[in-house]
Amino acid sequence: MIAAISLLHLISQPFLRNALIAGIAISLLAGLVGYFVVLRAQVFAADALSHAAFTGTLAALAAGVEPRFGLFAATIGVGIAIGLLGNHGRADDVVIGIAFAWVLGLGVLFISLYATGRGAGNGTASTATLFGSIFGLSSGQAQFAAGSAFVLILLLLGIARPLLFASIDEAVAAARDIPVRFLGVVFLGVVGATAAEATQAVGALLLLGLIAAPAGAALLITDRPFVGLAVSGGLATGSTVLGLLVSAQIPRVPPSFAIIAIATAAYMFTWLATTWCRRRG
C-alpha cells in the first residue's frame, strides 16, 4: 500500500513522467528493430551507428547547432550509407574497424572544440551523449522522442512481412520480386534513426545493449518470428520501465545503468532457463 502510494507520487513527478513517455516508446522501437538486427546478423552495423551517434551529436554541439539535428543526420546518413555499400564488408572487417575508431577519434576532437568554445568544465555534454541523460529530458523533447519513435514503429511494422522474408531467405525473396536491396537500405535507415532515439535514452555507448539483449533473449525463447518480435519489444520496454523506476527510487543508480543491467539480466536468465530446459527435455 505504502509502496503503491510512493510509486504514484513518483510517477506524478514531471522528470519521471517525461522519462517514461520517451523511454517506453524508444525501447519498444529498439526491441522491435533489434529483433531484425540480430536476425540479419547486423549487430556490427548497429555498433557503427552508435559511434556515428556520438560524433554527430558532438559535431552539432561544436558547430552550435541543435544537437538532435546532428544526431539524426549522422545516424540515418551512416545507416543508409552502410546499406548502399552492401554487406560485402564483412570479410574485410579490418577496414570497418579502423574507420569506426577514426569516427570516434573525430568525436573526441569535437569534444575538445566544444569545450574550448564554451570555456572549461563542459564534460557533461559528452558524458550525457555517451551514457544518456533520460531524466534530463524536457516535456517537449520527450514528446518529440515518443512521437518520432511511434512513426518509426509504424514504418517498421509496415515493412515487417517482406523484410522478414528477405532476412530469412534472401535469394527466394528476390525471386518472388521482393525489392530485397531497397528493403535493406530502408531498414538500415530505420536502424540509424533508432540509434538516434536510443542515444537520448541510454546514450551512444549503451544503445547496443538495448538493441541486442532483448532480441537475443527473444530468439532463444521462440522460433516463431512475430511472437519473437513481440517478446523482444516487450522485454525492451519492461527493462526500461523497471530500470527507470529503480533509478528513481535509488538515485545512486543512474537510469542508463539500471536499464542495461536489467536487460542483460533478462538475457542471462533466458539463456540459463532455455539451456536447462533443453538439457532436461
Q: Which residues bind another protein (CB under 8 A)?
A: 38-41, 43-44, 46-47, 93-95, 97-102, 104-106, 108-109, 111-112, 116, 121, 123-124, 126-127, 130-131, 202, 205-213, 215-216, 219-220, 252-254, 256-257, 260-261, 263-264, 267
C-alpha cell belonging to residue 215: 532480441
Of residues 112 and 249, the one with the C-beta less far from another protein? 112
CB 250 → another protein: shortest distance, Å? Answer: 11
Q: Rounded to whole angstroms, how far apart are CA atoms 197 and 267? A: 22
CB 125 → another protein: shortest distance, Å? Answer: 11
| 3-state secondary structure at position 69 | helix
* Amino acid making up residue 222: T
**If we measure between CA atoms, which residue out of 48, 97, 114 comes closest to residue 77?**
48
Of residues 6 and 116, the one with the C-beta less far from another protein? 116
CB 236 → another protein: shortest distance, Å? Answer: 12
* Amino acid making up residue 187: F
Q: Rounded to whole angstroms, how far apart are CA atoms 252 and 179? A: 49
Sign of the alpha-carbon torsion through 100, 104, 106, 107: positive
CB 50 → another protein: shortest distance, Å? Answer: 9
DSSP-assigned letters across all residues of 190-209: HHHHHHHHHHHHH-TTTHHH
Of residues 156 and 263, the one with the C-beta less far from another protein? 263
Q: Rounded to whole angstroms, how far apart are CA atoms 105 and 122? A: 18
Of residues 40 and 68, the one with the C-beta less far from another protein? 40
Of residues 112 and 139, the one with the C-beta less far from another protein? 112
CB 185 → another protein: shortest distance, Å? Answer: 20
